Structure 1
Amino acid sequence: MSTVCVPPSAVSTRAETAYRNRRSKWVADPIAAESDSLSIALHPPSERQVAEDPDAVIAWVRVWQTRRGIGRVHWESRRWPSFGTQDVPVRVVFAGPGEIAAAAGHTSEWHTLTARRMQLVEALSPGTAALPGAIASSLSRWLQFDEADFTRLVGVVRWLADHPASGLFIRQLPVPGVDTKWISRHRGLVELLLEGAIGRRDLGVRSVPRLCHVAVCDRTALPSMPKHFAAPLDELAALPLRTERILVLENKEGLHALPHLPGTVAVHGSGYAVHELTAIPWLADSDVVYWGDLDTHGFAILDRFRAHLPDVRSFLMDLHTLEAWTALAVPEPSPSSHVPARLTPSEAEVFTRLREEGLRLEQERIPWPHVMEELARSFGGKIGHRRGSTTVDPTALGRGTS
């Protein structure tokens, strides 16, 4: 035959496609799914094809005559002048998800899907109107779970739905087998199902607070504290600290390398989370200086910081620094699409040049002796290590003394 008629062996491939495309809809609305069907055209031969290869046509018809299994084969009569009236198969129809799944070779999977869907519905009822869709849209994920993990999933979502504001840490959740690592791996799925159950994704649990790293560059500011320490923001806010200046920088090694700086406390900025520092009263009441990378993201972070503290000044984020150390700059792989609105004219000039040339100059690439010189010039006074009244020449810093 010049055009190959569809043999029974090809039906499973087409049923497989239909099954994959439709199973989410079936899970979302099992009642409507029962009226679904799949009709696969078998493309019976024309009279010309019969004449060209009658043995092939006869063999194809016999295969369909002897076929056994699910699905209903529909036959029609064809009247051909040269061959008389012949009955040929024209389509095979599968009724309902079960038959389509069986034709695709996924009976076992479909049984698992329907059983697990029922478990989720029963565990999360009454749920919200979004629950069926949440269960359906996530089926490719929970279907991959073994029975133990699926049991954990049902249990933890049910518990979180029943205790929407527990305030527990994840490790405290009373669900066997569920710990911080398990939630970390499956958090998106848990949040999606929880939203379907109670209308929100918030797990209602406590997270380990972000620690903010601090360097007390003038020990007289907090004489009872270590020079370097880290603490949650709320604990930092409670410190009885009054200082002339806060230096916010993005490089942790730079934070630890800072020498004695009169009237200065340095704080790690944590990138785009820098605005969270504005919750610290003593920081907001100080002269705040921001030292970020010379790239589009650095200026976007500075812009965000100024949205909360408009008087933040920048340090080493100027054209002089860029031109002095351009040889140390590298291409910026993923520039920020944000266009800052709170830059000074000179900062905006640097930002434009960085964006046009696709450059980034990370703060850690700037030679340390130059940083020390600029700190002395910008902050005033003597800088260096201090024990009592001893200071160190800033030009010596960067040669192993800082």
Structure 2
Amino acid sequence: MITPEAIIEKAKRIYPKAVKAWLANEQAVFFPHRVPVNLSLAKNYAAAITEVERLRQSSKEVRGHGYTVEYESRRSRTFGLNQFPAAIWIDTMNDLVRLADVSVDWQRLQVAVGIFRDRAVELLPWLERQSNWRKLLDVADDLPGLLDIVDYFRSHPRPDCFARELPIAVSTKLLESNRRRIAGWLDIVLPADAIDPRYGYDAFEPRYGLRYTRPHFLLRVLDLELQSELGLPFDELSLPAESLSQLPVVKTQVLIVENKVNLLTLPPMKRTVALGGLGNGVTQLDDVGWLHENPVVYWGDLDADGFVILDRLRHSIEQVQSVLMNQTTFDKFEELATTGNGSGPRELTHLHDAERECYENLCRTNRRLEQEHLPVGALLDEMKSMASDSSIW
């Protein structure tokens, strides 16, 4: 026989379903809601009476709210002619809310949904999907301010100012701490030409047309003659992508290095410039025009993350070749390898066959070989062997 405590636990699991029905205006269909329970009585007569009475004492019949016990009259060998519990029902949303002890959250949700329906009609399909009402509840206290931000972007697409300059009477930290939530809403309410799809939610500012502090990329010129040709008084500089793009880099090999330490220790190389310390920021190099017009080589860690970065880079710059990112290199320096981060293989569509084979093997064995451990001579040897114009070496 089900206990009152077990019915409460079932009510907590039913509550999310009831909320979805309420959001879809289907409460009349959902309630009264039958609770799936086991109502088999104990074989001992006294125990059975105790079970039934305990169930009744905690029911709506006695307490005025909660679950309702439906009885049926039937004859039993053990108990004779008696009223037996036949079903457990929850009649209304109020009964469910009190039974599941979620009154405070339910009140907050009703207020938040009311605001949402009044101010963001376009977002109602989002609200009704999956369990997005929980996400709304998470920001219920800040909802008016968040919708103020959405309204401003809707009225002023791609506003071309810093986030802290938005003329809205909300805390500047509100946008900063809720970027992904706001981004999801903006993708629904804004026209397509107000969103730059090259950037994801984590790059909120460029995606939606805000100004931001541009990330700087560290560049080293590894050839003194090339440095003079570029008109640079120094061989190392840090600039945003659009400024780097203005350098007259032609007929030059570009070496992109994952780690900053490796970039800083690279030896001189003829007609070569190097960029490094970028990590997943390599995708932002798409704005550097001369990267699309010169041979580009990528050298990253021999691990799952290194190949993910290579895949992303090649998505933007198709002609990228990798160096020291193959099974031969790993096998040669395997004694320097360490444990990987446990990443499982993903579908990386821009890897070459040999790269993919090495990547899947590293994922399977959970191994990694950090590029800092490899001798620079190995880099030079492999780059010489792959150079299409050996005269630059």
- Alpha-carbon distance in structure 2 between the residues aligned to 1:47 and 1:357: 55
TM-score (norm 2): 0.72
Structure-2 residue corresponding to 1:173: 166
Partner of 1:143: 137
Q: Could you tell me whether the CA contact under 8 Å between 1:213 and 1:229 is conserved in 2?
A: yes
Q: Deviations over 1:348-386 (max 9, x none)?
A: 887787678664322211135665787899898999xxx
Match of 2:200 in 1: none
Aligned amino acid, residue 130 of structure 1: P
Instruction: Using the TM superposition, give the Cα deviation of residue 255 of structure 1 relative to its aligned residue in structure 2, in angstroms.
Output: 1.7
Partner Cα separation in structure 2 for residue 319 and residue 80 of structure 1: 75
1 CA distance for matches of 2:358 and 2:2? 69
Q: Which residue of structure 2 lines up, in the alignment, with residue 119 of structure 1? A: 115
Given the superposition, is the C-alpha separation of residues 108 and 166 from structure 1 closer, same or farther in structure 2, using an over 3 Å criterion? same
Of structures 1 and 2, the one with the larger relative CO (CA 8 A, separation 6+) is 1
Question: What is the match of residue 271 of structure 2?
Answer: 263
Equivalent in the alignment of 1:68? 63
Deviation at 1:235, TM superposition (A): 1.6
Distance in 2 between residues matched to 1:290 and 1:251, nearest whole Å? 11
- Look up the equivalent residue of 2:217 and give its one-letter code: C
Aligned to 2:203: none
Alignment match, 1:156? 149
Q: 210, 218, 223: which one pairs with 1:213? A: 218
Is the contact between residue 253 and residue 272 of structure 2 (CA under 8 Å) also seen in structure 1? yes
Q: CA deviation at 1:112?
A: 1.6
Number of the residue aligned with 1:290: 298
Give me the TM-score of the superposition, normalised by structure 1.
0.71
1:186 partnered with 2:178 = yes
Distance 1:44 1:349 in 2: 58
Deviations 1:90-114 (A, max 9, x none): 4453333222212222233212211
TM-superposed deviation, 1:161: 3.4
The 1:231/1:343 distance shift into structure 2, 3 A limit, reads same
Q: Which structure carries more helix by proportion?
A: 2
Secondary structure at 2:214 match in 1:
coil
Match of 2:27 among 26, 33, 40: 33
1:176-211 per-position Cα deviation (integer Å, ceiling 9, x unaligned): 4443x5445433322333445458795623354343
SS at match of 1:220: helix
Q: CA deviation at 1:292?
A: 2.8
Counterpart of 2:50 (choices 50, 56, 61) is 56
Return closer, same or farther for 1:10/1:305 CA change in 2, 3 Å cut-off: closer
Gaps of 5+ in 2: 196-206
- Kept in 2, the 8 Å contact 1:34–1:96? The answer is no
Cα distance, 1:121 vs. partner? Answer: 1.2
Q: How does 1:197-346 map to 2 (within 5 A)?
A: 197-198=189-190, 202=195, 204-206=208-210, 207-217=212-222, 218=224, 219-242=227-250, 244-268=252-276, 270-271=278-279, 274=282, 277=285, 279-295=287-303, 298=306, 302=310, 312-317=320-325, 321-322=329-330, 324-333=332-341, 334=343, 336-338=345-347, 343=352
For residues 356 and 104 of structure 1, the distance between their equivalents in structure 2, rounded to whole angstroms, comes to: 45
Q: Which runs of 5+ in 1 are unaligned?
A: 384-402
Rounded Cα–Cα distance in structure 1 between residues aligned with 2:279 and 2:140: 39
The percentage of counterpart residues that share the same residue type is 24
The CA distance in 1 between the partners of 2:73 and 2:353, in whole Å, is 84
Pairwise CA RMSD: 4.5
SS in 2 for 1:112: helix
Q: Could you tell me how far 1:83 is from its partner in structure 2?
A: 7.3
